[in-house]
Amino acid sequence: MYIYLVLSLFVNFMRINNKQQLLVILTFILALNAYSDYFPDGNSWNSSQPYEEDIDPKKVSQLIDLAFSDDATQAIVIIKNGKIIGERYADGYNFTSHGTSWSMAKSYYASLIGISIDKGEIESLDDSVSDYLDYFDDARSAITIRDLLNMSSGLDFPIHEHEKMFFQIDHLKYAKSVKYEKNPGIKFEYNNVNSMLLGDILFQVTDKKADQLFEERILEPLSIKDYKLWKDEKGNVMTYCCVDMSARDFSKIGLLFARNGVWQDEQILSKKFIDETFDVVWDTPDWYQWGDYKRYYSLHWWVSKYEENSKIFNTSGKYGQFTFVDRENDIVVTRITKYSQENSGSFQKWGIMKYLRWAGVENAINIGRKLIEVGSIEPGTDVITPVTNAEGESYEFYLRYPEFVELISGLSKD
């Protein structure tokens, strides 16, 4: 990679005048520095004092304190220049404790689409989904892969956003059955089925399930070794949710995007795909905002701030799971909520809970929590599934989300 960079700059250098040559030299120095930044090695992370990375320690403390103003918080990790400059865990948790991603996983599995494009397995985001899924041979044939990733497929969109799929035995069968409702590409609707279908597209072009691809193409290169990738009872990878790992390991994926898809000296994911991801496509409707704070969406990532002097993108999961990426300033911040450490597997097993699948999402969650509380079911044995108990459900954090984003934005400012 360095050789290509040097040769490219040298060729341009010989073609231009002295003033431009100086600019090329400066560009070379900056580029070389960008590609020589520190990366964590395996489970080993270098820590640094905020002031050593030109960050005001008071701002880091403010960010940590704000995260823990919500009792649901399990962990916060703040990364600058690849190094940990701030970190805190709730009592009973530490840097090895798992959280679950919930919908942060959407961003991870979407990146596999980008890698498949890089490898020539998928030609383009603008390919019709029907090119890969034969059951899209009806009105759904108008839908493109880009439409799925931008949450504008036009597939049937109920009020529960197809969260009911989570309580099914066969999630892919459920996703296949969802029909065409409106023209694609004209309206943002956060639909879990869009994300579930990505796994089937990946399987058709690679003959490998999405969990295996995720392991081979992202987790192994990033030396992430302690994780769970959830599947339904039929073995379908839940590509719309549910990756379990530590806050530090979630941060590694954020760092991959902050570093334009480069890890160590390997280009894992093309900068072109990340550039396209880190752009604004949808100005999301009011019901996806918190208060008056505006959010946007692009290729399975949320845009938490998009201004000329500050652009922050984030993965986002139910109950308050976030990894924020400030690419221009090489900052990554992960915050996750309290998560049960008792799950004994990575395949869902619903047991008696299967009878609640049509009870409604909130009813099923509340009844399930009550059954656990009274001891009628034992999580990890009678029922195996990702579960966030009431103590891990954020409230205050959402109220103060705009303040949290502004503090991240202000970390690199004087």
The pLDDT-based confidence of 31 (bands split at 50, 70, 90) is: very low
pLDDT digits 0-9 by tens, 305-323: 999 999 999 999 999 999 9
Q: Pull the structure tokens for residue 385.
A: 């599934």
Q: Which range among 12-21, 260-269, 356-365 shows the weakest confidence by mean pLDDT?
A: 12-21
pLDDT digits 0-9 by tens, 54-112: 999 999 999 999 999 999 999 999 999 999 999 999 999 999 999 999 999 999 999 99
The DSSP secondary structure of 175-195, one letter per residue, reads HHHPPB-S-TTS-----HHHH
Has residue 353 been placed in a domain? no
One domain, residues 172 and 149:
yes
- Higher per-residue pLDDT: 207 or 372: 207
Coil vs helix vs strand at 73: strand
Has residue 348 been placed in a domain? no
- Higher per-residue pLDDT: 296 or 363: 296
CB proximity list for 171: less than 8 A, separation 6 or greater: 165, 196, 232, 234, 236, 238
Q: How far is residue 4 from each of residues 10, 22, 37, 257, measured CA to CA in Å?
A: 10, 20, 18, 21
CB proximity list for 38: less than 8 A, separation 6 or greater: 46, 81, 82, 83
One domain, residues 265 and 298:
yes
Q: Which of 296, 248, 281, 236 minimizes the C-alpha distance to 99?
A: 248
How much is the average pLDDT of 262-280?
97
- Higher per-residue pLDDT: 12 or 324: 324
Distance of CA 74 to the CA centre of its chain: 18
Q: Which of 407, 395, 402, 292 minimizes the C-alpha distance to 72?
A: 395
Q: Which of 237, 195, 234, 233 minimizes the C-alpha distance to 212?
A: 237
Average pLDDT over the chain, rounded to an integer: 91
> Exposed e or buried b for every residue in 64-88, given b needs 16+ CB within 10 A?
bebbbebebbbbbbbbbbbbbbbbb
The pLDDT-based confidence of 19 (bands split at 50, 70, 90) is: low
How much is the average pLDDT of 253-271?
97
List beta partners, residue 243.
229
How much is the average pLDDT of 172-192?
97
| Residue 248 to residue 98: CA distance in whole angstroms | 10
CATH number (domain holding residue 394)? 3.40.710.10
| Residue 262 to residue 257: CA distance in whole angstroms | 8
Q: Pull the structure tokens for residue 156.
A: 């049937």
In the sheet that 243-246 helps form, which strands lie side by side, from edge to edge? 98-100, 243-246, 228-229
The pLDDT-based confidence of 288 (bands split at 50, 70, 90) is: confident
What are the start-end ranges of the H helices in 143-278?
145-149, 171-177, 192-206, 210-214, 247-258, 271-277
Has residue 133 been placed in a domain? yes
How much is the average pLDDT of 116-137?
98
One domain, residues 13 and 133:
no
Say if pTM beats, i.e. exceeds, 0.95. no
The pLDDT-based confidence of 35 (bands split at 50, 70, 90) is: very low
One domain, residues 244 and 141:
yes
Has residue 41 been placed in a domain? no
pLDDT value for 21:
61
One domain, residues 225 and 331:
yes
Q: 228 pLDDT exceeds 90?
A: yes
Q: 293 pLDDT exceeds 70?
A: yes
| Residue 389 to residue 324: CA distance in whole angstroms | 24
Q: 210 pLDDT exceeds 60?
A: yes
One domain, residues 10 and 90:
no
The alpha-carbon radius of gyration of the chain (Å, integer) is 22
Q: Pull the structure tokens for residue 283.
A: 């100005």
With contact defined as beta carbons under 8 Å apart, do 94 and 88 qualify? no
One domain, residues 17 and 136:
no
Nearest 5°: the CA angle 172, 175, 177 is: 115
pLDDT value for 209:
98
With contact defined as beta carbons under 8 Å apart, do 184 and 128 qualify? no
CB proximity list for 127: less than 8 A, separation 6 or greater: 144, 145
| Residue 122 to residue 281: CA distance in whole angstroms | 22
How much is the average pLDDT of 336-342?
89
Q: 5 pLDDT exceeds 60?
A: no
Has residue 273 been placed in a domain? yes
One domain, residues 69 and 27:
no
Q: Which domain holds residue 182?
A: 50-343+388-410
One domain, residues 54 and 136:
yes
pLDDT value for 356:
75
Has residue 14 been placed in a domain? yes
One domain, residues 273 and 310:
yes
- Higher per-residue pLDDT: 333 or 6: 333
How much is the average pLDDT of 163-186?
96
Specify the number of domains making up the chain.
2
Q: Which of 345, 319, 340, 313 minimizes the C-alpha distance to 397?
A: 319
CB proximity list for 137: less than 8 A, separation 6 or greater: 130
How much is the average pLDDT of 186-202?
97
With contact defined as beta carbons under 8 Å apart, do 49 and 380 qualify? no
pLDDT value for 362:
83
Q: 28 pLDDT exceeds 60?
A: no
One domain, residues 160 and 20:
no
Has residue 358 been placed in a domain? no
One domain, residues 15 and 147:
no
pLDDT value for 414:
72
Q: 344 pLDDT exceeds 90?
A: no
> Exposed e or buried b for every residue in 222-248, given b needs 16+ CB within 10 A?
bbbeebbbbbbbeebbbbbbbbbbbbb
Q: 188 pLDDT exceeds 50?
A: yes
| Residue 1 to residue 35: CA distance in whole angstroms | 9
Has residue 192 been placed in a domain? yes
